[in-house]
Amino acid sequence: MGIREKLLDYKRRLSDRKMYSIVIVIIGAVAIWGLMQYKHSMNLRQELDNQYNRAFFDMVGYVDNVEALLAKSIITSTPSRTASTLQEAWRQANFAQSDLGQLPVSQQVLANTSKFLTQVGDLSYSLNNQNMQGKPLDDKQTAMIEQLHKLAVSLKTSLADLQSQLSAGRLKWGALESKGPQFFQNASKNVPAQSFVNMDKTFKDYPTLIYDGPFSDNLTKLEPKGVGKKTVSLEDAKKAAEKFFGADRIQTVDNTGKNDQGQMKTYSFKVLLKGAPSKQTASIDITQLDGRPYWMIYNRPVGQKNLSPQQAIEMGRKFLDSRGFPDMKETYYLSNDNTLTVNYAYLQQNVIIYPDLIKLKIALDNGEVVGFEAKAYLFAHSKRDIPAPKISMEQAKAKINKKLKITGQGLAIIPTDFKTELFTYEFKGKLENQDFLVYINALTGLEEDVLLIVNTPNGTLTM
C-alpha cells in the first residue's frame, strides 16, 4: 500500500472514530434529556398527587365534622343552639363538596356523594333560618336529619376505608376512577329525593372543631391570672427547673435564652439527666413572673408498656400536686406510642374549671412525665367566687333533649369565645352508640354547648 492509500485509510478511520464519538455524544445527550424529562414528569406527578391528597384528606375531615354536627343537632334542645350547630354543618358540607370536586374521579361516580353533601348543606341552611326565628324542629325535620346522619356515618366509614388504602399505598389515584363507585356510590345511594334550593354561599374561614379535651383551645387571656407579679432572676428560674425534674436526677442545666415576646415571658433551659446520653436532653421554659414551669419536652426512647392508663393518670396527678398544681382532675386522654397524653382540669368545690387546664405526656414504661404544658392554667387560673346555682340539677336535666339518656352529671365552669366564663351543669349522655356532653347554664337554664365524645382505641376525644 502506497503512502497515498495509507493516508486515505487513516483519514477514513479518523472519520469513523469522529462519527462514532458524535453518535455517542448524541445518544448521551438524548439520554440526559430523557432523564430530565422523566424527572420533571415525576415531579409534576408528585405535585399533582400531593394536591389530590390534600383535597381528599381535607374532605375526610369536613365529612367527619358534618357527621358530628348532624348528631349534635339531633339532641340540642333550644332553637338557638340547633341553629348554630346546623349553620356549622352547612359550612362544613360546602367545604367538603369543594374538595370533592378536585378529586380525579368522574362526576358520574361522585354524583350521589355530591348530591348528599348538597342536601346536607341546603337542609342545614334552611333549618338554620327557621331556628333563628325561634321555631324548633318538628318530628318530620328531625327524622330527616337522623336519616342524613346515618348516611353521613356510612360515607365516613367508606372514606376511612379508602383513606387507609391510600395511606398504605394499596390504592393509587390513577386507580380511583375504577375503584370509586364502590366507595362513593354505595355510601350515598339512598339519599332522599327531596332537595332544597342551593344558596351558593361562599365562606372565608371556619372554626376548629376537634379538641384533645373540652375547651382546650381557649387559652389566651389579656392578662395571665395564674402567675404573680414578681420577676424572678435567671438563677431562681434555674432552681425552679431543677425542682421540676428533681435535683437528684439532674446532671447539668444550661440556659439557652430568654423569651421576651408575647404575653408570657420565659427563661429557656436545656437539661441533661443523670445516666442519659449527652444528646438526649430535655427542654423547659420557666416563666419570668413567679418562676412557674410553662412547658417541658423530653424526647427519650420509651420502652415496653408496663402501666395501665389509670395507673399513669394517678401518677400524673401526684406529679402535678408535688409541683405546685394541687386539686387537678383528669378529664380526657389519648394513648400513642407507649405514652399517654392526659388533660387535667382544676377542681374547686367539686366544680370542674375547664379553663384551668394542664396537659401531661406520661411514659407508660415507668410513669415518667416526658411532656408538660401549663399555658392554659397559667393564663386562666384563679380562685373563683362560685355562686350557688339558681336552678336545680333536675330542672337543668329537664331542659335536655329527651332522646339523650343521661349517664353522668356535675357542675363545670366553661370558657366562651368572648374570654368570659359560664357556670354550668355538665351532663354526660348517650344517644344510640354515641356519647355527648351537654352544658346547661346553672344560673339561667340556657343550653350553652353540646360536645360529641369520640371514644377511640387510644383514648377519648371531643368534638
> What rounded mean pLDDT belongs to the chain?
78
Residues near 19 by beta carbon (within 8 Å), at least 6 away in sequence: none
Q: Tell me the C-alpha distance between 188 and 336, whole Å.
A: 33
Least confident of 4-18, 122-136, 419-433: 4-18
pLDDT band at 68 (very low <50, low <70, confident <90, very high): confident
Task: Flag whether 156 is in a domain.
Answer: yes
pLDDT in tens, 230-272: 999 999 999 999 999 998 999 999 998 888 877 889 999 999 9
Q: E strands of 306-338, at which residues?
A: 328-336
**pLDDT at 175 > cutoff 50:** yes
Q: Count the domains in the chain.
A: 1
Whole-number Cα distances in Å, 318 to 106, 326, 330: 57, 9, 11
Closest by CA position to 67, among listed 122, 161, 147: 147
Task: Flag whether 24 is in a domain.
Answer: no
Task: Flag whether 431 is in a domain.
Answer: no
Task: Flag whether 83 is in a domain.
Answer: yes
Length of the chain: 463
pTM score, whole prediction: 0.60
Task: Flag whether 76 is in a domain.
Answer: yes
Cα radius of gyration rounded to whole Å, the chain: 31
Q: Tell me the C-alpha distance between 122 and 124, whole Å.
A: 5
Task: Flag whether 395 is in a domain.
Answer: no
Task: Flag whether 139 is in a domain.
Answer: yes
344: phi then psi, degrees, rounded to nearest 5: -115, 130
pLDDT band at 218 (very low <50, low <70, confident <90, very high): very low
Task: Flag whether 220 is in a domain.
Answer: no
Domain with 95 in it: 38-188
**pLDDT at 204 > cutoff 70:** no
Average pLDDT over residues 45-53: 64
pLDDT in tens, 81-97: 887 887 788 888 888 87
**pLDDT at 197 > cutoff 50:** no
pLDDT recorded at residue 374: 93
